[in-house]
Every structure is written in structure tokens, then in C-alpha cells.
Amino acid sequence: MKAKATIRLKFLTEQQAETMLKSLKIETEHPTTVRSHTVLQKEGKHLTLKVEAKDTVALRATLNAYLRWVNSILNVFRVLETQ
């Protein structure tokens, strides 16, 4: 692997971090490409995404996908808070 990135996200609660981990875990277990590999780790209210890719194009695509999924899940959290 030639390109690497680590992103650490902080959530309001440990439960949100756990829900995010469970929601994204399936993507790490069944990746759609062999060009990148992602590891998720939860520490309290923090979720860490570690991505390794064969090139920067694959790294960017993987990061964009995960960040879009994170954003979608955060939107669900917001909707649930208003209910």
C-alpha cells in the first residue's frame, strides 16, 4: 500500500460512536474493491478510520465513501433527536 490516512471522529456520546462503528463495520468486512483496506477502532466517544490504499485515487475514493456514510448517519441522528 502506498497511500495512508487516519481520521479520528468525536461524537457526542459513546452510544453514537458505537452505532457508527456497527453501521460502518459491514463495509470493512466486505469491501467493494481490493485497492484499499479500512480499519475502524472505537475509543470512548471517538471513532478512528485507518485507510490504506494502493494509490491516492483509491485513497480519496475510499475516504469520500466513508465520510459520506458518516454524514448520512449523522443526519439520521439529527432527525431522531427531533422526534
* Residue 58's CATH number: 3.30.310.50
Cα–Cα distance, 16 to 29 (Å, whole number): 20
Cα–Cα distance, 5 to 68 (Å, whole number): 16
Domain with 50, as residue range(s), is 3-82
Question: Tens digit of pLDDT per residue, the chain (83 long)?
Answer: 699 999 999 999 999 999 999 999 998 988 878 899 999 999 999 999 999 999 999 999 999 999 999 999 999 999 998 88
Cell of 80: 431522531
Q: Residue 72 contacts by C-beta under 8 Å, 6 or more apart in sequence?
A: none
The structure's pTM equals: 0.89
Per the structure, the count of domains in the chain is: 1
